[in-house]
Amino acid sequence: MQTDALVNELTATLPSYPMEELKLLSKGLRQQGKLVFDFGTGDPTLPTWEPIRQAVSRNIPEVSQYPSVLGSDELRAAHGDYLQRRFKLAINDDLAILPAQGCKEAIFHMALSLVGRAGGRRKILYPDPGYPVYRSSALFAGGIPCPITLQPEDNYLLKPWRLPREQTEGCAALWVNYPHNPTGALADEAYWRQLLAWCHQEDVILLADDCYVDLYDPVLDQGSSGLRPMTPLCFSHDRVVAFMSLSKRSGLTGYRAGFMAGDARILKPHARARANFGLGIPSFIQAGAVSAWGDDTHVEVRKKIFAERMQLAGTALMEWGLLEAIPQATFYLWCRVPASAKGDDLAFCRRLAQEGIIASPSRWLSEGISGYFRLALVPDSEGIRQALPLLKRCLL
């Protein structure tokens, strides 16, 4: 029997999820007894901040009940306090909050409420390279995925006002992600204002994947560069939804905790839709999330650690001509493959794997961009120091 007789064509033809491929690659190398330096997935390995773990264990209930999709009062208050502290945003009738099991599911399920809006708009625009779920969520929701290639000469900023009309016509929503995975690119206030003006003029919902908004070089807290990461909600709530996560801010990828904040006219009906999706957050995870959103000290520690790793690895990669500048946010380095690889990112990543280094080829993080690879600075400084000479061997 043909596979697409049992599952639909979309599921039958979907390529494997890149991060699952990377996990398999890493496991295979370990089974061969290789010392593996895993720069593949942005899944940090630092221990969880102790008060968060205590909050979880203190709150494992004697009787377990279904959680509400709206989250506990304490959780909603913690989200509100965080938005106030970090961005000076106040929750009011225009700005709503909705908890999520991390950004991934929130991104995926958002398309279900937006595709077909405003008289049948089905296009979803998103950055390429970028997070693969922008595309897959559009597809599963019956939308039309429209990748927009980001250019290094634009500092990887997505500029929809430059696109031909045919490309943007019928656009329901647009994804942006600054700080950007995989390039680490940052947006400033002038960019946000121009983007919002375009979205308002074209009646396009702006979806800001802000999951790296708290992972940046602490020098940006002092400087006047205007590049301290912000959410577009700081400039308008009108047709904007931001997606926040504890995965990178607090290193809680396994907890599955985040939230959406934005235009109440979108999030209130979307909350009713989400009640059907089975997305309540377990109560003890909510308790851990309250503790994590309420504290900034552990975030400061993490920011410093990743900024140091970026300097360490970035300096070497710049010296070898693979990187133009060290990004000031995220923990990713988006590097060119060396000339010897002749633009073949997949072949180069296979070569790296022979040395025990796992990296993501650009074609796995994009829709056809070749010649780059991404390093997620998950190994600690010692691991990076050990891996760099092995990586250097692959340049020839």
The footprint of ligand PLP (CB under 6 A) covers 42, 102-104, 131, 177, 181, 209, 211, 245, 247, 253, 258
User: Judged by CB, which is closer to ligand PLP: 236, or 253?
Assistant: 253
- Cβ atoms within 10 Å of 209's Cβ, excluding its own: 28
Q: Residue 236 is encoded by which pair of tokens?
A: 């308008």
Residue 334 CB, nearest distance to ligand PLP (Å)?
A: 13
* Residue of this chain nearest to ligand PLP (CB atom): 102
User: Judged by CB, which is closer to ligand PLP: 113, or 177?
Assistant: 177
User: Judged by CB, which is closer to ligand PLP: 42, or 356?
Assistant: 42
Residue 380 CB, nearest distance to ligand PLP (Å)?
A: 19
User: Judged by CB, which is closer to ligand PLP: 78, or 103?
Assistant: 103
Residue 255 CB, nearest distance to ligand PLP (Å)?
A: 9
Residue 209 CB, nearest distance to ligand PLP (Å)?
A: 5
User: Judged by CB, which is closer to ligand PLP: 103, or 349?
Assistant: 103
Q: 3-class secondary structure for the chain?
A: CCHHHHCCHHHHHCCCCHHHHHHHHHHHHHHCCCCCEECCCCCCCCCCCHHHHHHHHHCCCCCCCCCCCCCCHHHHHHHHHHHHHHHCCCCCCCEEEEEECCHHHHHHHHHHHHCCHHHHCCEEEEEECCCCHHHHHHHHCCCEEEEEECCHHHCCCCCHHHCCHHHHCCEEEEEECCCCCCCCCCCCHHHHHHHHHHHHHHCCEEEEECCCCCCECCHHHHCCCCCCCCCHHHCCCCCEEEEEEHHHHCCCCCCCCEEEEEEHHHHHHHHHHHCCCCCCCCHHHHHHHHHHHCCCHHHHHHHHHHHHHHHHHHHHHHHCCCCCCCCCECCEEEEECCHHHCCCHHHHHHHHHHCCEECEEHHHCCCCCCCEEEEECCCCHHHHHHHHHHHHHCCC
User: Judged by CB, which is closer to ligand PLP: 186, or 316?
Assistant: 186
Cα–Cα–Cα angle for 350, 353, 355, rounded to 5 degrees: 125
User: Judged by CB, which is closer to ligand PLP: 79, or 104?
Assistant: 104
Residue 256 CB, nearest distance to ligand PLP (Å)?
A: 7
Residue 182 CB, nearest distance to ligand PLP (Å)?
A: 8
User: Judged by CB, which is closer to ligand PLP: 181, or 366?
Assistant: 181
Residue 379 CB, nearest distance to ligand PLP (Å)?
A: 17
Residue 293 CB, nearest distance to ligand PLP (Å)?
A: 13
